[in-house]
A and B are shown apart, each in its own frame.
Chain A
Amino acid sequence: MVEISFAFFDEDAKKEIRRAILKGIALPGYIVPFASREMPLARGWGTGGLQISLSIITEADTIKVIDQGCDASVNAVNIREFIVATTDVRATSTTGEASIIQTRHRVPETALTEEQVLVFQVPTPDVLTVVEPDTDKQKKMHAHLEYSKLWVLLYEDTASFGDSRIASRYPVEVNDHFIMDPSPIPRYDIPRLNDNPALMLFGAGREKRIYAIPPYTKVKPIVFDDRSFQMEDFTGKSCMRCGAENVFFDTLKKDGEVQYYCSDSDFCDQTLESRKSHAS
């Protein structure tokens, strides 16, 4: 058997990734290139987030991995088991207990703290890709804060459909400077990035890019002055399982009827637990 070091990577690999992370933190929203190692997981399946998690993790950490808000999803299970197998750290599904949370497509409902790091899996790191696929041009556009093409797209969509057609990974301005891709989280999660006490790291393995939002950073979606930011509306809906309201829901059709369930499975468990203890 071949011995593999703590957290899979050799120490040089971790060092390189940590340097990219530090640069990303120093320049909020700036996209830092890194070499991106080959992982035993396919590209596009979370290798960017996984590389970040593996290079920052220590024996003292507790890891949580979610996909679509859910710890039990097969992708999350696969990644979590890999991290645990290569580090032997404690795994949890409870948001409050985790020091590192790797996520795909959601920000946990439970408020995060300064003690936590949220690691996002990112498919398309550059927000400009939707209007300019050439990476060289993208870099120059960021340098000049030249975002007019994004604004034109927003204008065209607003004129035709009343709002931007970008449903998830809605462009955000970070620290009053760069416009950034927040990874494919729903619009509901966008305001929750603002002034967040947790460090948020973004990893794109296939595209070989890392970027960051430091704790307590101003993050706002791009919207015209005379418009408000529209989000997924679940007013009046509640979770069929735990009864929670005002959270992001999965919808499911049963016997012709639409039912709502918390997308965040841990939040659902916690709510149910506290209801039960209240009842008893």
Chain B
Amino acid sequence: MSYVAIKGGSEAIGRSKNLFKKMLDGEFLLEDSNTSKLIFGIDRIMGEGALYSEKLAVRAIHVSGCNLLEAAFYLRAHRSTCRRAGKSLAINGGEIRVIRRISSAFKEIEGGQILGPSSDFILKLLAGHGSDLLEAIDGGDGSRKIQHPLPSGLSDLRSRGLIMTVAVKENERKPVDITRSSPLPPYPRSSMMQVMARGETGSMLGFAYTSLRGYGDIHPTIGDLRLGMAAVKMIHPLTGKAVVVGEIRVTAVESVGSFQRDSKDNNLRLTSGFGFCFGFNETKAISMSILDLAMSYPHYSVGEKSIATDPEIIFHHIDGIESMGFTDHFKMPHYVTFQADIKTLERAMEHDENG
């Protein structure tokens, strides 16, 4: 009987915690236990630094003293020394080999709710009563096969034509690479997605939160959140066939917003937003899907102009390496400009006295 997908919640939580511990102990995914303890730091900076290399990420964490903004900066700087080998084929989210996939939209979905390794239900107590609650439970007999490929939790709604598709202009079909050309507004969707995929987790969270809390209308429902391995494929220059050149850890999110009238055919449909980043970073991917929703469908009740709906604000303010660099630059000498400020103040005071 499949009445409640998550019946036996205790057991599910216990197993999820157990997997989380095992992941941190290096029993799977990252096999070096020194590295596995850093997994979320590594994943965060590989995304923000826009360079997928666990080895370099670990080095960046060490040389920066675990200042993650700066560690991401090391990776970003390293990019400039790497020649671009080519373009990979687009990754299909359904093809991700999932290790965790949940949907908060539907109790039961094709392929099931897969908690996987998660710290969601670990009580955040360093010591004392309750910190050892709901002890980790050793996994089942491993007989549960995870469906592959696994369609999105929204695929049923989508196939029924209930999900709106963002209109992409004909001349924007080819993705822009912001590391090779700097687009002008209105920003092509591909460039916005790239900026967000490289965005700083905290900044994106902050901007997305404004929309959730009232300065905007987005209260998303997560249709599909998945963590797993995605194969990166390229076209072989000699055979012309697609070959897998590696696998990367990724997080992908599809969230659903309110319904709106689709200008395409005047029908009512649900809006949706997409988030995707290197590594396991649920907060960032969810934030990205919210920002995507907010910018793609700005109007509901509080009006069209709010922080998260404004591509001009998001495009220029979520890059951690840039915003950190500029904010920290105020430590540099500003003797000349400040002297000029003082002189201007003196002239204004003189004007006051004479006035």
Asked if A and B are interacting partners, one says yes
Q: Which residues on A sit within 8 Å (CB–CB) of B8? A: 72
Query: Are B106 and A252 closer than 8 Å at their CB atoms?
Result: yes
How far, in Å, is B110 (CB) from chain A's closest CB?
8
Shortest Cβ distance from B10 into A: residue:
A77
Q: Flag whether B83 is at the interface (Cβ < 8 A).
A: no
Q: Flag whether B316 is at the interface (Cβ < 8 A).
A: no
A-binding segment of B18-26, B121-129, B227-235: B121-129
Q: Flag whether B114 is at the interface (Cβ < 8 A).
A: no
Q: Which residues on B sit within 8 Å (CB–CB) of A41? A: 123-124
Q: Flag whether A13 is at the interface (Cβ < 8 A).
A: no
CA gap between A74 and B13 in the complex, in Å: 7
Contact of A40 among B3, B108, B123, B156 (CB under 8 A): B123
How far, in Å, is A128 (CB) from chain B's closest CB?
9
Contact of B9 among A73, A129, A252, A261 (CB under 8 A): A73
Contact of A72 among B6, B106, B127, B302 (CB under 8 A): B6
Query: Are B127 and A1 closer than 8 Å at their CB atoms?
Result: yes
Query: Are A74 and B128 closer than 8 Å at their CB atoms?
Result: no
Q: Which residues on B sit within 8 Å (CB–CB) of A129? A: 213-214
Q: Flag whether B133 is at the interface (Cβ < 8 A).
A: yes
A73-B9, A74-B115, A131-B301 known; A3+B129 contact, CB < 8 A? yes
Q: Which residues on B sit within 8 Å (CB–CB) of A57? A: none
Contact of A4 among B115, B130, B258 (CB under 8 A): B130
CA gap between A233 and B102 in the complex, in Å: 27
Q: Which residues on A sit within 8 Å (CB–CB) of B261? A: 160
How far, in Å, is B101 (CB) from chain A's closest CB?
15
Contact-residue size bin, chain B (C-beta under 8 Å from the other chain):
35 or more
Q: Which residues on B sit within 8 Å (CB–CB) of A42? A: 120, 124
Query: Are B123 and A241 closer than 8 Å at their CB atoms?
Result: no
How far, in Å, is A67 (CB) from chain B's closest CB?
9
CA gap between A126 and B238 in the complex, in Å: 63
Shortest Cβ distance from A207 into B: residue:
B213
A2-B127, A2-B128, A131-B302 known; A250+B9 contact, CB < 8 A? no
Query: Are A153 and B10 closer than 8 Å at their CB atoms?
Result: no
Q: Which residues on A sit within 8 Å (CB–CB) of B38? A: none
Q: Flag whether A82 is at the interface (Cβ < 8 A).
A: yes
Query: Are B130 and A82 closer than 8 Å at their CB atoms?
Result: yes
Q: Flag whether B168 is at the interface (Cβ < 8 A).
A: no
CA gap between A73 and B125 in the complex, in Å: 22
CA gap between A268 and B121 in the complex, in Å: 27
Q: Which residues on A sit within 8 Å (CB–CB) of B107? A: 68, 250, 252
Q: Flag whether A158 is at the interface (Cβ < 8 A).
A: no
Q: Flag whether A85 is at the interface (Cβ < 8 A).
A: yes
- Using a CB–CB cutoff of 8 Å, the interface residues on chain A facing chain B are 1-4, 8, 40-42, 68, 70, 72-74, 76-78, 81-82, 85-86, 123-124, 129-133, 153, 160-161, 165, 241, 250, 252-253, 261, 265, 268
